[in-house]
Amino acid sequence: MKATIFSYITLSLVGLIRAGPFCIECTDAPEIRECLRTTIQCADNEKCYLEKVTNEDLSISFNAGCRSTQVCDIMDALATGRKKRLVNCAACCNDAPNQNVPCNANLCGLDTCLVCDGIHSDVASCTTAATCPPNEVCYTGIRIVGTALRYVFGCYEERVCYGMVSNENQESSIHHPRARVIHGDQGMHICDACCKGDRCNAADCFYLKKNMTIGDFNSGVVAPSVVAL
């Protein structure tokens, strides 16, 4: 009986200690999507945090998890042990998850996109949101499969989106030379569009394509440096 009571008290205390928000968690992840694979519940005196850093080799990495509320308030941790890395962004939150996505998945200006495998009968059937890698943007497409309209949602390389919108043929579509960008994608392409903004690819594909402009996307081409003589 005593053992049962002790166990109950222990579990209750654990529940009280871990009464904070659920957050995504990762350490030195090269892509934000790797952080989305793991979640952790913080203590009641902690908040979710996300940190985006530039490493010495100029690569980007992400750190996410729980951070004490005091540290979040004063952000002292930003200057600790970062001599070989530059902190692009460090932010905290304790909001409730949005559609099961922890709040720190949307920090540091990282918009989320609808990202789902396969083809879908409508926009409402894709409910998974994720943050694309730094060189990718939100993407959507419409397919004809048999006699039915189907939709695809995901991320695509920004430079390819730039190439599509800069193409003189306004009816151009995205075609990956080796494999489809979305696992399970099939059917005849009748629309492909890219966009930037939180869950922007939930909008109509034809509307997005009509409003795509060359200034929306980065070509991925690094301009040559000018050397003064």
Using an 8 Å Cβ cutoff, are 145 and 187 in contact? yes
* Residue 189 DSSP symbol: E
Structure confidence at residue 134 (pLDDT): 75
Q: How far is CA 136 from each of CA 59, 125, 160, rounded to the nearest angstrom? A: 15, 23, 9
* DSSP H or E segment with residue 209: helix 205-211
Q: Residues in the chain, how many?
A: 229
Task: Report helix, strand or coil for 203.
Answer: coil
**pTM of the predicted protein model:** 0.59
* DSSP H or E segment with residue 65: strand 60-68
The single-letter code of the amino acid at 78 is: L
**Pure H helices in 113-204:** 158-166
Q: What is the pLDDT along the chain (229 residues), one digit of tens a residue?
A: 544 444 444 444 444 455 789 999 999 988 887 888 899 999 999 999 888 887 777 788 889 999 888 888 876 545 444 445 677 788 888 887 776 778 887 777 677 899 898 899 988 889 888 888 778 899 999 998 888 899 999 998 888 888 888 774 445 555 554 334 566 677 888 888 999 988 899 999 999 999 998 888 887 654 444 444 4
Distance CA 92, CA 204 (A): 33
Distance CA 155, CA 157 (A): 7
Structure confidence at residue 153 (pLDDT): 94
